[in-house]
Amino acid sequence: MFKFPSDEWVKEFGNQLNGSEAYARAGKDWKGDFNFIVEADNEYPETVYFFIGLQGGKCTDAAMVPSEKERKAEYSIRGSFGIWRKIIEARLDPIQALMMRKIKMTGNMMKVMRYPNAAREMVNCVSRVPTEFPK
């Protein structure tokens, strides 16, 4: 089990992406890094930041970082800890969360919309990370 949020957790997410043939196929033409911002809420007391580097169907870097400005990324996705937990546990589809404004994304949405299968496979990979949440 990997504690969420932690550097070990995000590194395992990167390992899951790199071990997924489906993600490799769906993201083979993708180039664009992400900052994920997990905002504090009543379930978790502090805001944390993850960086995921993606290029050509592979995760090139995965790390917990001290701020969203630590690593330059084409995209940022932010939401509360509780919303991220629902996404990780596959109880909330991230596209639905975007449409409901439960998470917010900055970056070129038209580019993202051209890669729906890659986005779906990222969610499949994140849900395969054995995750332990704080009590």
Superfamily of domain 2-123: SCP2 sterol-binding domain (3.30.1050.10)
Evaluate if residue 72 carries a pLDDT over 90.
yes
Distance CA 96, CA 61 (A): 27
| Residue 101 DSSP one-character state | T
User: Exposure pattern of 87-113 as b/e (b: 16+ CB <10 Å)?
Assistant: bbeeebebeebbeeebbebebeeeebe
Question: pLDDT-based confidence at 4, cuts 50/70/90?
Answer: very high
pLDDT in tens, 99-117: 899 999 999 988 988 998 9
Domain assignments of the chain as residue spans, ordered by start: 2-123
